[in-house]
Structure formats: structure tokens, C-alpha cells
Structure 1
Amino acid sequence: MQTDLLETFLDLVDSRSFSRSAERLGVTQSTVSARVVALETALGTRLFDRSRAGTALTAEGVKFESHARALRHGWAEARRAVQPGAGQSLRIGIQTDLAAARIGDWVAGFRARLPGVAFYIEPDYSNQMCEDLLRGSLDFAVMFSPRAQADLHFTTLGEVRYRMVSSDTDRRAGLLAERCIRAAYSPAFEDQHRQLLPELQQAPLAAGQNAAVAGLLASLGGAGFVLEETAAALIAGQGFRAVADVPVITQPVYAALHLRHRTSPLHRRLLRSVQRHFAPR
């Protein structure tokens, strides 16, 4: 199986840029293009449209995305299953913003509590993780936006905090919409942002990932909400300031699993492991 075709496709789904995916995958842009052509040829359809505005999935590409994720996971599971001493495995999804800073500590906790279990970890977004839990391609997930489904069970874990920083000012009065990057981390976050700063809703740039907002701020300057630990790094190393009179926005975090796993001792131990990281200190 040519898993590099799937990996390239899924990276492009995230990056929407052939050059950015080439950099992230450590290959040339022509290699990325060749892999996409090979996959499109095998499927008999176009998966991406390229224009000056960027790279976008076609309708067929949107349909293929969930299958590509399932194929990638299935191949990883197949490889693991045929290895000597293969045992039980769990497939865990983690909200992209949470994974960036916390995945190491969390996985260390999982392995300490479940030493005989192999883990497949995939950072993703809430809607996709809900779909994967329903399909059975994920066993457990930590996410921002629970989606009401009869077969899914959600537990509130706690919250993470996003702080507004700016390269221009430390006061709300000095913020300009044209110099702001509007963060769209979840529907709940967007609602809070809209109520808190209605004058900034016409910002020309928006992004739904902490790393993307931080990268845009570092390159372009301006203002935007980032995770508190990211804000501290921007303030310490890149000359940004906290916008003192703009409150922190809190984002609730939830654990999710299929109802059939609600009473499973294995899944309950996973839940306790994650809850420990949100316990008051």
C-alpha cells in the first residue's frame, strides 16, 4: 500500500498549500504534486482545485477524506497486528490545539495507567472526531465541541485559556480590525469573541488553529487570541504585549467516547488519566 499518497493527501487537507505540505513532509513540491496526481489517477477523479486563492478540496475530495483517514488508520493497525507480541490497542483523537502542547504528558499518563496497551494518536478537529467515534475508527477523544448524538457520551474535563496579544498596543482602544487575526477555534469560542469584541469581526484574516494564528502574528504582526502558553512565548521572545483590558476567553474541553464504552474499565482509566491534567492545582 502506498501510504505516502494518503499521508500527502491528508496533509494537504490540513495545510491547503502544496508548498507548505512539501515543507512539512520533507519532500519537494513536485513530489507532493506527483503524489496527488498518482492518487487522483488511481481514483479516477480530481481531489483538489488549485487557484490563486489557494488549494481547495473538490466535492469528490471532501467525500474521500474520511475514507483516507480510515485507510491510514487501518494500515497502521494492520502493521501493528502482524508484529510479534502485538496486543490490545486504543485509537485516541486529541483536539489539534491541545495536542500541540499536551500530547507528550497525556500519552505518558496513558502508558503509565495502561502499560500493556498500544496507542494510535491522531490530532484532529471536533466534528471529524465525533464522526470517527460513531464509525468506530476512534475509541476515545478529547475535544472542544461536542456534537449531540444518541450514541456518544461526553464528560466535561475543564477548560483552556486564550489570551489576546498584540505587537502594536496593550489596550483595546488601540486595536484595529485590519491588524487583527480573528481566531475561530470553535463555535463557542467564536460566540465569545463576537460578544467581547464586536468591532473586530471584520478582521481580514481568520484561522482555526492556535499554531496558525501564532505563525501569522509572528510573520505579520497585529493582534489575536492564542493559548496562554503561546502568548507567554510571544511576549517573552517576539516583542508582543498582552492586551491588558481584554479578558481571557476560556474554551471548555470535553472527553468523548461511544456509549458502548461508557462502563469499560479501560476507557474509564483513560478518562481519569486526562481528568488528572485538568484538576485544580
Structure 2
Amino acid sequence: MNTDTLQTFLLLAELKNYTHTANQLFVAQSTVSNRIQELEAELGKPLFVRSRKQLRLTEQGERFLAYARRILELTQSAAEELNSMSHYRFSLRIGSTNTIYDCHLSRRLVDYSLSHPETRLNIVIGHSHALIQMLQDHTLDMAFSYVPYAKKGIECSLFATDELLLVTAPQNREYGQGILRRELTGIPYLYCDFPFQEVGSYIRDLFPAGHAFPLEIDRSANLLPFLCGGKGYSFLPASIVRDSIDRGMLLPIPLLDFSIPPVSCYLLTCGVAGSDSLLAALREG
């Protein structure tokens, strides 16, 4: 089982077409077929259901998909680690969700990288559960997650707590003195599906089922241009919007008869050489 075969399997599972897979890999279609047949023979299980009209993964293929990704990630991580040893004193692999990175890490990591040229940083942005799996597979040295997780060999500690603020552009002053919970359904609320434990569900439940939002987006920081342009209202972490509020680009709206729970994020670590100085810099920043 080699990396070329696994990459072929993953691409075919995504494209579900031998010709397109061969074209993207710059190989003959017969090469793709041979690699898949060899992999199925090695595993002793069929990975695809083939018919004249469609190609789909078998149940065994679906299960093997996650393992194939993890094997490739481990292989790549090992190669990068070995190659970096001759160029850098330390190599640190850091995982974070989008929002934690935007709120707490980006500026601090830039500062750390500039002041520690002897350390190589490998930064992965992903979802909490995927990052935890990578930490367990030892393809990450530390992860910043909204999911607290502690297991033998992994330490979990509270990293930061953030307040969610309802904000809008300064010209939207109708609720400048505050807003009631029942009034939320009457405003143009821009929705972001926060991965914040129960907080995401709490915000969604403020609106009736099937509520039509004028805008939905999957990354909170991407709401800023819409909000600053006057599009509507949204709850965002204070650490993202504080600068815009201080500069007069956004206006915080007081909540009169309800509150939003704070958001906690966690640092998950595996002890690794060179990480102490980074952790100290991140916490101090």
C-alpha cells in the first residue's frame, strides 16, 4: 500500500470517474484501474461498486476512506518532520478552528514566527473533531478547539473565554438603546453557524424554525465586510469586533431581556520540544 495508490483511491472516491481521475493525476486510465484493483486485493475487500451509470464506494470503501486520509497525513507529517530537522532547531505543528485562529492566534503566531526563526511552524485550520483526531494520530503537537478533550498523553486546559456581542453598522440606530429577544426576528440578522458548544444552538433557537436569514456564512470573520457596510446585525466574538467598535465602524447593541453564554476555547497539547516558549507567547499575547 503506497502513497500513489492511496492518493488515487481518495481522488476516485471524490470524482467517482476513472477518466477524470486519470486526467487529474496525469496517468493512463488503466493505471487508475490497476491501482484500485491492487488496493482491493491487498485489503481483501471491494472498495467501489461499479456499474455502467455510476461509481460509488462500498460500505468497506466508506470506512477505509478515513483511514486512507490519516495514512497519507501521517506519511506527509513524518517526511516534513525529518526534512525540517536539518534546517530548524524545532518544528511545531499547530491546529486551530477558523474562529479561534482569527480571534486569538493569528497576530500572536506572526509575532512568534518573526522572533523565533529557528522554529518551523506548520499551521492547520480545521474543525474541532478533525483536529482532535490529528492530535491523537500525532500529526499535530497542539490544537485549539471548542471541544474540551482529555486523554492519556493529551493535556487539556482553558485557553480563552470570549463574549459574543450583537453588532451592526453605526447608521443602524433603531436598537441603539437595546433590543428585546422578541425583536430579533424583525431585524436583518446575518447568520453564522458557530461551532461553539451549546452557544451555537442557543443562538439558532432565538429564531423560529425555518427562519429565512438574508445572509448565511460559515466563517464568522467573513461577516465583518457585510456588517461594516450596513447589511444587518449579527452576534460575533468580542475579540473579532472590538477593533471595529473602537474605530467607530461597528455599534454594539445592548441585550435588554436576555443574554448569550460566553464561549470557551481549549488548548490541547502533546508534550514536544520547543513548545514551551510558544505556549508562553500565546498565553501572554
Work out which of the residue numbers 176, 183, 194 in structure 1 matches 2:185: 176
Q: Any unmatched runs of 5+ in structure 1?
A: 14-33, 47-56
Aligned pair in 2 of structure 1 residues 140, 83: CA closer, same or farther (>3 Å)? closer
- Counterpart-to-counterpart distance in 1, 2:238 and 2:22: 37
Aligned pair in 2 of structure 1 residues 217, 70: CA closer, same or farther (>3 Å)? farther
- 1:210 is aligned to 220
Identity of aligned pairs, percent?
Answer: 13
Q: 2:142 is aligned with what amino acid?
A: F
Whether the 8 Å contact between 1:113 and 1:273 is mirrored in structure 2 is: no
Aligned pair in 2 of structure 1 residues 241, 183: CA closer, same or farther (>3 Å)? farther
- 1:268 is aligned to 276
Task: Say if 2:268 is the partner of 1:256.
Answer: yes
Aligned pair in 2 of structure 1 residues 275, 244: CA closer, same or farther (>3 Å)? same
Larger Rg: 2
2:262 is paired with a residue whose SS is strand
What does the per-residue CA deviation read over 1:12-48, in whole Å, with 9 as the maximum and x for residues that have no partner?
x9xxxxxxxxxxxxxxxxxxxx6798479876769xx
- Counterpart-to-counterpart distance in 2, 1:36 and 1:99: 37
Relative to the length of structure 2, the TM-score reads 0.60
What does the per-residue CA deviation read over 1:137-166, in whole Å, with 9 as the maximum and x for residues that have no partner?
111112221134344211112212321124
Task: Say if 2:92 is the partner of 1:90.
Answer: yes
What does the per-residue CA deviation read over 1:128-187, in whole Å, with 9 as the maximum and x for residues that have no partner?
111111111111112221134344211112212321124664242332178432542321
- Counterpart-to-counterpart distance in 2, 1:186 and 1:127: 12
Q: CA deviation at 1:232?
A: 5.1
1:269 is paired with a residue whose SS is helix
How well do the aligned residues superpose, as a CA RMSD in angstroms?
4.7
Whether the 8 Å contact between 1:130 and 1:146 is mirrored in structure 2 is: no
1:200 is paired with a residue whose SS is coil
Relative to the length of structure 1, the TM-score reads 0.61
Whether the 8 Å contact between 1:95 and 1:126 is mirrored in structure 2 is: yes
- Counterpart-to-counterpart distance in 1, 2:247 and 2:62: 40
Aligned pair in 2 of structure 1 residues 244, 97: CA closer, same or farther (>3 Å)? same
Q: Any unmatched runs of 5+ in structure 2?
A: 15-19, 26-31, 37-46, 50-56
